[in-house]
Amino acid sequence: MFNLRLQKNKILFTTLLLFGMGIFNLNIGMTNAYFSHTESLTGNTFSTSFLNFTLTNNNLEKLIGPEAQGEISHTSVVMEESGSLPMQYTLSNTILNNDSDLCSKLTVEAKLNGVSKYTGVLSGLASSLTTEFGTWEFLFDMPPDVSVPNGAQCNENAIFSAWRADIPNKTDSSWYDEEILNISFTARMVVLNEIYARPNGGVAPQDREYIELYNNGDAPVDTLGWQISEIAGTTETFYPVVASGAVSGEMMPYGGASTIIPAGGFLVLEFGGGASHLNDTGDTVKLYDGVTTLLDSHVYPVIAVGKAVVRFPDGIGFWVDPEPTPGTENMVSLEDLRKAGFDEAMIAQVLELAALKNITLLSDEEVVEEVVIPEVPVVTDILPSTEGETTETEEIVDEIIEEENVTIEEEITEEVAEEETETEEVQVEDVPEELIIDPEVIIEPLEEGEIIIEIIEPALIPEEEIL
């Protein structure tokens, strides 16, 4: 198509000119010309082609938190359109919004037809070039040690880009197609942490039912206007959180506390009115924020009087039913975990999470060390010997007796020697003066064979020796 512009003062009429191969339509001030021609060639066929593929489930919008078993799965199918040109494609991403670097703190594993193509942080999601189409499975997670403000968002596009299989890159391919998986995650950092449904009349707050919340985030959160619900049968009853003066059908912080939960802190909420609201034989408890978004829920079984169901570790762990600990760290024992039906693999997960919180179990299983006592040969059977003969057993017994006798004799000899070396203490005042010899006096022998006596200290000389 092309346009011919004519001057008004030169063309004052309208006409239709027919030529062999075209048609002109002349109007005053503007002329449009249209050409049309058809040729038929026997044995030749002209056709057009296209390049196109489809993506199913292309929107994902979820809350995500650091608690155990909080992973989010998503499946999309990438499929070629029938009749499309052969294609190759890649997976890449574009970040649209990233509060507190949340996209870089979330993790994802991407699999194509069951084969892992990417494992790492969400912000780095990508895959190499492939011509294989099929099912893409994604598993998103917030690691338990991540701490961001409640409500932080990560908005990202996962982009599938395809072009002709015979062209090295997308830029040089005149035909290409793109499909986008829209990903939106909102951080849910406040969760249910303890449920106390059967009070035992103890000291407050354990004298009435309560729900404890925990803030996994790194910033305070105000829960004023949030709601707790419980389900009796098929009816869900809501209890809004008020600052104080809660009546029946409302909840308020215990002890006049604020409705604000500090970062890494607790909030104990009591039911107003003093009546029973939670079912003793099992119930479902849910937590909603101020715009009635469901943040968390837990279904508990029958609870014993005075017991509670709690997360361990706080905020991120598994649910067990030990002693209540309102407003403080939840503590469990190995026995509590086993009674809750945890196998060794789950117990290992609990211990791993506890290590992240730098806490240990309330009590560990006692380990009894095996003490190895050396065997002492004991003679059990002594065979009688015939007259004049000595059995091997008797010889062993004789050796043992001889060794014992030698030992006894040595001990006696040592005791006698010690006694002989001891000097008896003598009270000088009890000895007659005529029997005391001056210690400085040395009696020289007058004749050969007489004894020289040297006394160093006063001593008592037996009377018979002097005489």
CA distance 376 to 374: 6
Residues 153 and 226 in one domain: no
Residues 80 and 133 occupy one common structural domain: yes
**Is position 360 within any domain?**
no
* Sequence-separated (6 or more) residues with CB below 8 Å from residue 444: 452
d(C-alpha 458, C-alpha 356), whole Å: 80
Question: What mean pLDDT do residues 350-371 have?
Answer: 73
Domain check: are 182 and 200 in the same one? no
DSSP state letters, 359-422 = ---SSPPP--PPP-PPP-------PPPPTT---HHHHHHHHHHHHHHHHHHHHHHHHHHHHHHP
Mapped onto helix, strand or coil, the DSSP state of residue 163 is strand
Statement to judge: residues 168 and 197 lie in one domain:
no
Q: Are 436 and 428 in contact (CB under 8 A)?
A: yes
Q: How far apart are CA 73 and CA 136, in angstroms?
A: 11
Closest CA to 100 of 79, 123, 120, 132: 123
Residue 7: what pLDDT? 37
More confident residue, 110 or 389: 110
Coil vs helix vs strand at 325 = coil
Compute the average pLDDT of residues 292-299: 96
What span, in angstroms and rounded, lies between the C-alpha atoms of 351 and 307?
A: 22
Residue of 365 and 235 predicted with greater confidence: 235
129 domain residue, yes or no: yes
Determine, yes or no, domain membership for 397: no
Whether residues 243 and 208 fall in one domain = yes
**Residue whose C-alpha is closest to residue 327's, from 270, 272, 289, 271:** 270
**86 φ/ψ angles, rounded to the nearest 5 degrees:** -55, 140
In a domain, 354, yes or no: no
Highest mean pLDDT among 179-188, 376-385, 390-399: 179-188
Two structure tokens written together for 401: 């007796």
Residue written as token pair 């809004």: 240
β-bridge partners, 5: none
Q: How far is CA 106 from CA 17, 68, 103, 137, 179, in A?
A: 72, 14, 6, 16, 23
**Quick check: 75 pLDDT over 70?**
yes
Q: How many domains does the chain have?
A: 3
Q: Are residues 131 and 175 in the same domain?
A: yes
State the average pLDDT for the chain: 80
Measured distance CA(62)–CA(367) in Å, rounded: 45
Tokens 């015979």 — which residue?
A: 166
Query: What tokens does 162 get?
Result: 């395809």
Identify which has the larger pLDDT, 233 or 346.
346
**Residues facing residue 368 across a β-bridge:** none
pLDDT of residue 31: 47
Q: Which residues of 292-302 are buried (b: 16+ CB within 10 A; e: fewer)?
A: eeebbebebee
Q: Average of pLDDT values for 246-254? A: 95
Q: How far apart are the C-alpha atoms of 7 and 349, rounded to whole Å?
A: 88
Residue range(s) defining the domain that contains residue 28: 2-35
Co-location of 156 and 221 in the same domain = no
CB atoms under 10 Å from CB of 61, counted, come to 10
Same-domain pairing of 181 and 234: no
Taking the CA of residue 301 as centre, how many other CA atoms within 13 Å lie in the half-sphere pointing to its CB?
A: 6
Could you tell me if 282 and 299 are in contact, meaning their C-beta atoms sit under 8 angstroms apart?
yes
Measure the CA–CA gap between 296 and 158, rounded to whole angstroms.
27
Res. 190 pLDDT band, cuts 50 70 90: very high
What's the pLDDT band for 10 if we cut at 50, 70, 90?
very low
What sign has the CA pseudo-torsion 323, 328, 334, 339? Answer: positive
Note the pLDDT tens digit of each residue in 124-162.
999 999 999 999 999 999 999 999 999 999 999 999 999
Q: Among 305, 330, 355, which residue terminates a domain?
A: 330
| Least confident residue range of 199-208, 264-273, 401-410, 417-426 | 417-426
Tokens representing 364? 């560990």
Give the strand order in the sheet containing 318-320: 251-253, 266-271, 210-215, 190-196, 309-312, 318-320
Instruction: Look up residue 73 and give its amino acid.
Output: S
Same domain, 231 and 148: no
Phi then psi for 93, rounded to 5 degrees? Answer: -145, 160
- pLDDT, one tens digit per residue, over 327-347 is 999 999 999 999 999 999 999
Do both 162 and 240 map to the same domain? Answer: no
Instruction: Tell me which of 231 and 465 has the higher pLDDT.
Output: 231
**Which candidate, 255, 155, 273, 166, places its Cα nearest to that of 205?**
255
CATH number of domain containing 115: 2.60.40.10
Within a domain: 452: no
Query: How many Cβ atoms from other residues are within 10 Å of residue 17's Cβ?
Result: 10
Report residue 34: phi and psi, to 5°: -125, 130
Instruction: Give domain status of residue 57, yes or no.
Output: yes
The beta strand positions in 131-240, using DSSP E, are 134-141, 153-164, 176-187, 190-196, 210-215, 221-222, 227-232, 235-240
Backbone φ, ψ for residue 437 (5° rounding): -105, 135
Q: Is residue 285 part of a domain?
A: yes
Residue 21 has pLDDT above 70, yes or no: no
Predicted TM-score (pTM) of the model is 0.68
Do residues 323 and 197 both lie within one domain? yes
Cβ-count burial of 211 within 10 angstroms (0-12 exposed, 13-18 middle, 19+ buried)?
Answer: buried
Q: Residues 227, 206: one domain?
A: yes
Rounded CA gap, 102 and 96, in Å?
Answer: 12
Q: Is the pLDDT of residue 448 over 70?
A: no
Q: Does residue 58 sit within a domain? A: yes
pLDDT at position 441, please? Answer: 47
